[in-house]
Chain A
Amino acid sequence: MLDAAFLIPAFPLLGFVTILVFGRRLGEPGAGWVATLAMGGSFAAALLTFLGLVAEDKEERRFVQTLWEWVPVGDFSVDIGFLVDPLSITMTLFITGVGALIHLYSIGYMHGDENFSKFFLYLNLFAFSMLMLVLGDNMLLTFLGWEGVGACSYFLISFWFTEEANATAGKKAFVTNRVGDWGFMVAMFLLFTTIGSIQYVDIFGNAGELSENTATAITVLLLVGAAGKSAQFPLYLWLPDAMAGPTPVSALIHAATMVTSGVYLLTRVSPITAEAAGWSLDLIAWIGAGTALLAATIAVAQNDIKKVLAYSTVSQLGYMIMAVGIGAYVAAIFHMITHAFFKALLFLGSGSVIHGMHHDQDMRHYGGLRKLMPVTSATFIIGWLAIAGVPPFSGFWSKDEVLAYAYDVNIGLWIVGLVTALLTAFYMSRQVFMTFYGEYRYADVRPEEIEAVWANRVAAAEAAVADAEAGIGAAEDGVVKAQEKLDKATEKLEQRQAEMAEVDQSDEKAVEKATKNLDKAQDGAVKAQESVDEVTASIDTARAEVEAARSALAGVVLAAEAGGDDLDGISDEDLPEAVRERREFHPHESPWQMTVPLVVLAGAAIVAGVMNLPFSDDLHFLGHWLEPSFLGNKHKLGLSGGELWVLAIIAVVVGAIGIAAAVAVYLQRRIPADRIELPILARGWRYDEAVTSFMGGPGRKGFDLIAWFDRTIIDGAVNGTGRLVRSVGGEMRSAQSGLVRSYAAMVAIGAVALMAWFLVRTTF
């Protein structure tokens, strides 16, 4: 049955090739079913291999299946081969199991997407790469899978690449991971030069020969690699941005499987870390603990439902890395498995919410969804209880084991872990309360929309003031014109009066005419005077209007400031169309393809703890199962049963405090949320901005210098060689006459010279 191992990655590869060739013809939902079936077959093969491994004796549980030689170079050769041992098969089981469920879920989630089959193409390629990473029997094959999952992660984060932000997030993930890959590669080269092989079996056998410095260097370099893939400080930046991808991708790649590969790698090479200096292991532990705490504080202030889960993932991965650093490999793997279940569940649940809410991801817009999405909310609540560390859900057992080891090794790590657990319980409760409890808020008018209404009103009042002011201007213009007319009329009157005085009194006709003219002029003057008075009066009216408009504006501004989020004085007609659309909208439960995986994962999240119960040594099923894989420095827990009980009770109390605090803030609203959701937390301690400004500023100069070095020195050497060859060739070409006979002569001379040389050599 062990021979079935090669089928585990073969099924997804087959699915990938099938969709690659027939993807368009399969369409929706055919391609999805092909991919899901491939994953199902892979899970069946993994199960078969697992049973085969169980049937072996404990010492015999390591099996290498070599398919063919891949890179034969002299003495050095790399095979396509699979290392089947408890560690790799455990990883394989949950990768294929959770993977198959997420494939099924995606059929529902990606419904109606124009690139439906392409999505499943990438998903199957990802699953294949991930399984190669885990099953590879040498570091190069693991690296192949490592890069493969990185590429698929890039494809899938920027799956909806028509939006600039998504494409950028994909690039960010890819570039950040290159830094980690550098560490992996250098570690691999170092292993090859010192041990002479990159096969895990050889590494396990010869790790003891490594000097402490070499082992430390390899450990630190692999930590760099793990920090990239498993999103640890300082390289965690890409994971929150990776949420730009479709939610099943976040669940599969950025929560359950790919991001755990760093933890897997560090446990895989445990015989090397066993040789390393103590400080490098402390570094691993503290990087894990620090990342766990840092990410947990950021998660508290996020409003995007997926961002909370993303930071939560970073935080939980920190837990695993911490466990690796203190030599608690079983605890790390145990937490990895339970985390894969409950975090995939939480992500799929958030995807179901997002799907039901028209792709709105802002938790402030949710609320009260418990009754509208019964299955999603029930399973999500199970996931919440699991991650918050409520017994007897799976997260409690695994987190408690990590904490117990931390307490045994270094009490500082234990305290950091405990604070992280408190924050985890708090922010997950916050998420659940904001999403599923409280009032149904989706149809509510949002603060920014009320602000927009007030802004519109203020703008209208300001426009009225401007109009009124323009009225004053017009009236003043009118006064000037009327005055001009009055001046003209007065002039005319004076002229007529002068004519009247000069007129010949004897000429009756002329007198009569002048009198008439004078009367007319007098009438005109009176009328002009009247119109001046009238227009002057209109200025006063306009001024009064301006005053009225100004006071109205002041009133509106006051009301806008006082009104804030209130709906007082706002009628429906003022609100944007979107509000009416939201009132028409009814959130719905997701289709069965999506709810079935939720229910299965919820079941796993409840019971996964039985894998490794702490009550007696016999119940450490996972621990005993993994024993043949961890050849190195697994820390032996030196705590008594009583101490473990005390630690467990402390952990439960801390979790309860976190949940109670969230109840006080988000359900009872006794403490304003602003006091906890600090802006600096919402912006992730400004770490991202700091990195960006460094890379754009001083870092940029360094990169320019390197680019200059590359252009002038490296390219210069390459191009210089080319130029040299060309100039030498240019000189030599004159020897080519193109005449057949001269070539023949050269051959003849050459032959004679050769013969002469042979003769001379043999004679003397």
Chain B
Amino acid sequence: MMFAATLTTSYFLVLSALMFAIGAVGLMIRRNPLVMFMCVELMLNAVNITFVAFGTDVDNVGGQISVFFVLVVAAVEVVVGLALVVAINRRRADATADDVSLLRG
């Protein structure tokens, strides 16, 4: 209980910011599609934490409800994302995200 008093919203926000930064940087510097995919999930969950933290802070249940929406989006993204990962791996076992650049102008 004594920790609860000191655990303010700022802690959660900092945690969320760190997670988001790790996810964003990871997405940009890693080439393994599966890892990139996990980085996206990390960013989404960082946002979820922010939602919950602020929801508790302003005593509004809306923040937690938003999380459900994000989770639904994340679930949908999993379907598409994993399919992409599988498709990329089928090309070559060691294929990276940079190997698929058909959209280059």
Tell me if A67 counts as interface (CB < 8 A to partner B).
no
Tell me if A741 counts as interface (CB < 8 A to partner B).
yes
A715-749 CB mask vs B (1 if < 8 Å, else 0) is: 00000000000000000111111111100110010
B24 with A739: CB separation less than 8 A: no
Q: How many residues of B contact A (CB 8 A)?
A: 14
Can you name the residue of chain A whose Cβ is closest to the Cβ of B98? A739
Q: A residues within 8 A CB of B90?
A: none
Cα of A448 to Cα of B48 in the assembled complex, Å: 103
Tell me if B31 counts as interface (CB < 8 A to partner A).
yes
CB distance from B55 to the nearest CB of A (A): 21
A741 with B103: CB separation less than 8 A: no
Q: A residues within 8 A CB of B101?
A: 737-739
1-53 of chain B: CB within 8 A of chain A? 24, 27-29, 31, 36
Q: B residues within 8 A CB of A734?
A: 105
CB distance from A705 to the nearest CB of B (A): 43
The answer to whether A736 and B28 touch (CB under 8 A), given A741-B97, A741-B98, is no
Can you name the residue of chain A whose Cβ is closest to the Cβ of B27? A744
A737 with B28: CB separation less than 8 A: no
Cα of A732 to Cα of B105 in the assembled complex, Å: 9
CB distance from B61 to the nearest CB of A (A): 27
Can you name the residue of chain A whose Cβ is closest to the Cβ of B84? A740
76-105 of chain B: CB within 8 A of chain A? 97-98, 100-105
Q: B residues within 8 A CB of A737?
A: 101, 104-105
The answer to whether A739 and B28 touch (CB under 8 A), given A733-B105, A734-B105, is no
A735 with B97: CB separation less than 8 A: no
CB distance from A759 to the nearest CB of B (A): 15
B105 with A740: CB separation less than 8 A: no
Cα of A741 to Cα of B96 in the assembled complex, Å: 11
Cα of A748 to Cα of B39 in the assembled complex, Å: 14
B31 with A741: CB separation less than 8 A: yes
Q: B residues within 8 A CB of A736?
A: 103-105
Can you name the residue of chain A whose Cβ is closest to the Cβ of B102? A738
Cα of A736 to Cα of B101 in the assembled complex, Å: 10
Q: B residues within 8 A CB of A740?
A: 36, 97-98, 100
Q: A residues within 8 A CB of B100?
A: 738, 740
Q: B residues within 8 A CB of A732?
A: 105
A657-684 CB mask vs B (1 if < 8 Å, else 0) is: 0000000000000000000000000000
Can you name the residue of chain B whose Cβ is closest to the Cβ of A734? B105
Contact among A739, A745, A748 for B97, CB-based, below 8 A = A739
Cα of A115 to Cα of B8 in the assembled complex, Å: 89
14 more contacts with CB within 8 A, not counting A736-B105, A738-B103, are A733-B105, A736-B103, A737-B104, A738-B102, A738-B104, A739-B98, A740-B36, A740-B97, A740-B100, A741-B28, A741-B29, A741-B36, A741-B98, A744-B27
20 residue pairs A–B, Cβ–Cβ below 8 Å? A732-B105, A733-B105, A734-B105, A736-B104, A736-B105, A737-B101, A737-B105, A738-B100, A738-B101, A738-B104, A738-B105, A739-B97, A739-B98, A740-B36, A740-B100, A741-B28, A741-B36, A741-B98, A745-B28, A748-B24
4 nearest A-B residue pairs (beta carbon): A733-B105, A738-B101, A738-B104, A736-B105
